[in-house]
Amino acid sequence: MPISAGTRLGPYEIVASLGAGGMGEVYRARDARLGRDVALKVLPEVFAKDAERMARFEREAQVLASLNHPNIAALYGLEESGGVRALVMELVEGPTLAERIEDGPIPIDEALPIARQIAEALEAAHEKGIIHRDLKPSNVKVKADGAVKVLDFGLAKALEDDPASSDVRNSPTLSLAATRAGVILGTAAYMPPEQAKGKPVDRRADIWAFGVVLFEMLTGQQLFAGETAGDTLAAVIKDEPKWDRLPESTPPAIRKLLRRCLDRDPRRRLRDIGEARLVIEDVMAGAPAEEPSPRPRVSASPRLAVSWVVAGALLISTLVLAFLYFGETPPAERVMRYSVPAPEKASIHSFAISPDGRYLAIAATAQGKRYLWVRALDALQPQLLPGTEEAANPFWSPDSRWIGFFAQGKLKKIAVSGGPAQTLCDAAAGRGGAWNRDGVILFAPSPTGPLFRVSAVGGVPVQVAKAEGGGTHRNPVFLPDGRRFLYQVTGGTADKAGVHVASLDGVAPRRVLADISNVAYAPPAARGANLLTCSWSAKTP
């Protein structure tokens, strides 16, 4: 029976109903002792009156209360008052993931951060031996700031059968103690085949459900559906996922991950949700696609093998003679000069060439507005990247697939192929950035410095180097090891200004050049000095 607003359960006053699910009615309540709002999940009467079940549940709740993770809604305790028993839980504002999916497919750049946080929540729980058993979009909340909270962790283990529901996505969360074989536990549309058959499950059940949830985020459609829970269970057991529903833009690594998560054979299924998190983080950081597997060797006949040996010996002899003849006099060094014009009717603010030498990222102002443009060096016209208003000081990912830049008080990144720009963190007026192979971005968030580091997938920036002698830090450049970096110090005392070298490992910075110009690095194979300076013509404060 619903509880009206104003009713008190111990120190908690009911404020409003938040809805109902397979595990009970949920209410917003005010905690009079701590002065905070909480969520009260009132357990169905059939549960509350079962002494054995409640004793088991209380033991389980103690384990669940030990989960302390930013992506898991906290369980505060169990409250009993007037014969009513309720779980006291963290109140999470925001829509459920199910509500987001109802609006249609979630773009890949939004879906992956959500999936990564779900994976982090599952990983933290699995490390404590806790399985969710009922992961589904309606048990995931997405807050206004993009933070994800997974709800109802592990509760299915302690609760019993629920009445049927007409909505399969919220169909009965049939629960069962682990010792009772042959009874289904979980929600029909999201349980793995072995669970649908009533067999025992382990954390690979959560991995299957994770794959279903990610598939539905990307497609906006339910993966397994039927008119009844039985029909849905049959689809889970027999139907192959419709892989052609995935958007064409879905990265190959994500397609492969989905196939691993949704393998019907639990022995072949992905075994650790942490591996899923790593795949997602690599894709978000712009990691290059996996190299194709080498072709298997084909054995040749003895006569053909001898022919190849003779041909190889002749080739080696020819190369040796050529080296002896031509190697003594290296060809004259060629000097190449060319110019790259600004986009039409635009003035260049800042630019950066990609590590593979194929592209030029240009921040240019046209008609009073500054945008980011990308120009392939084998093309004549640059292409404007939408969504990059106020872009400045671009820099590249090591694989040349992403461009980092500063805009609208934020550090952002965008794929060179286009698509929505992703915000990584705050940067009031960025003055240069660098990106290493480990997915670390080093940047100066303001003209006054100092330098900070942040993950290429976003997060909280951490200060790396502190300005000394009153100077400011700008324009970092990673050295080949990806740990040490060069940067420019301007202003302050004369003995501090110039080019400095420091390390992400906390090694004390030292000055290597008194020149206060910007700095670049040329590998040892390049001719000339390894440390190069250049004057900067763009007028920036």
Q: Tell me the range of 114-128, 144-158, 176-190, 280-294 where mean pLDDT is highest.
A: 114-128
The string of pLDDT tens digits covering residues 442-480 is: 999 987 778 899 988 888 888 887 656 666 888 899 998
Residues 6+ apart with CB under 8 A from 494: none
DSSP-derived pairing of the beta strands 422-426 and 433-435: unpaired
Name the CATH code of domain 8-90 (choices 3.20.20.80, 3.40.50.300, 3.30.200.20, 3.90.550.10). Answer: 3.30.200.20
Mean per-residue pLDDT of the chain: 79
Residue 211 confidence (pLDDT): 97
Residue 246 confidence (pLDDT): 94
The string of pLDDT tens digits covering residues 88-107 is: 888 888 889 999 999 899 99
Residue 71 confidence (pLDDT): 92
The string of pLDDT tens digits covering residues 336-352 is: 565 677 777 778 888 99
Residue 222 confidence (pLDDT): 92
Write the single-letter amino acid at 380.
Answer: L
Residue 499 confidence (pLDDT): 87
Burial class for 108, CB neighbours closer than 10 Å (0-12, 13-18, 19+): buried
pLDDT band at 56 (very low <50, low <70, confident <90, very high): low
Global model pTM greater than 0.85: no
Instruction: State the CB neighbour count (10 A cutoff) for residue 372.
Output: 29
Residue 166 confidence (pLDDT): 36
Sheet of 484-490: strand order equals 472-478, 484-490, 498-503, 510-513
The string of pLDDT tens digits covering residues 188-212 is: 889 899 888 888 888 999 999 999 9
What whole-number percentage of the chain has pLDDT above 70? 74
Report DSSP letters for 447-491, one per residue: TT--EEEEETT----EEEE---TT-EEEEEEE-TTSSEEEEEEES
The string of pLDDT tens digits covering residues 143-169 is: 888 889 998 876 655 443 333 333 434
**Section 353-370 average pLDDT:** 88
Report DSSP letters for 328-360, one per residue: TSPPPPPP-----PPSTTEEEEEEEE-TTSSEE
Domain at 346-534: CATH architecture = 6 Propeller (2.120)
pLDDT at residue 214 greater than cutoff 90: yes
pLDDT at residue 288 greater than cutoff 90: no
For domain 97-284, give the CATH number: 1.10.510.10
What residue spans define the domains of the chain?
A: 8-90, 97-284, 346-534
Residue 256 confidence (pLDDT): 95
Q: Which residue has the higher pLDDT, 526 or 373?
A: 373
Sheet of 440-443: strand order equals 433-435, 440-443, 451-455, 462-465
**Section 292-314 average pLDDT:** 52
Q: CA gyration radius for the chain? A: 30
Residues 6+ apart with CB under 8 A from 54: 47, 48, 85
Integer Cα distance of 522 and 457 in angstroms: 28
pLDDT at residue 525 greater than cutoff 60: no
pLDDT at residue 435 greater than cutoff 60: yes
pLDDT band at 387 (very low <50, low <70, confident <90, very high): confident
Q: Is 134 assigned a catalytic role?
A: yes
Residue 234 confidence (pLDDT): 87
What whole-number percentage of the chain has pLDDT above 90? 30
Residues 6+ apart with CB under 8 A from 314: none
Residue carrying the six token digits 């998190």: 277
Catalytic choice (103, 109, 134, 162): 134
Residue 541 confidence (pLDDT): 37
Residue 172 confidence (pLDDT): 38
Residue 18 confidence (pLDDT): 85
Residue 185 confidence (pLDDT): 38
pLDDT at residue 63 greater than cutoff 90: no
**Section 353-372 average pLDDT:** 89
Cα atoms in the Cβ-side hemisphere of radius 13 Å centred on 255: 13
pLDDT at residue 533 greater than cutoff 50: no
pLDDT band at 397 (very low <50, low <70, confident <90, very high): very high
pLDDT band at 311 (very low <50, low <70, confident <90, very high): low
pLDDT at residue 216 greater than cutoff 80: yes
The string of pLDDT tens digits covering residues 480-506 is: 888 899 988 877 676 777 888 888 877
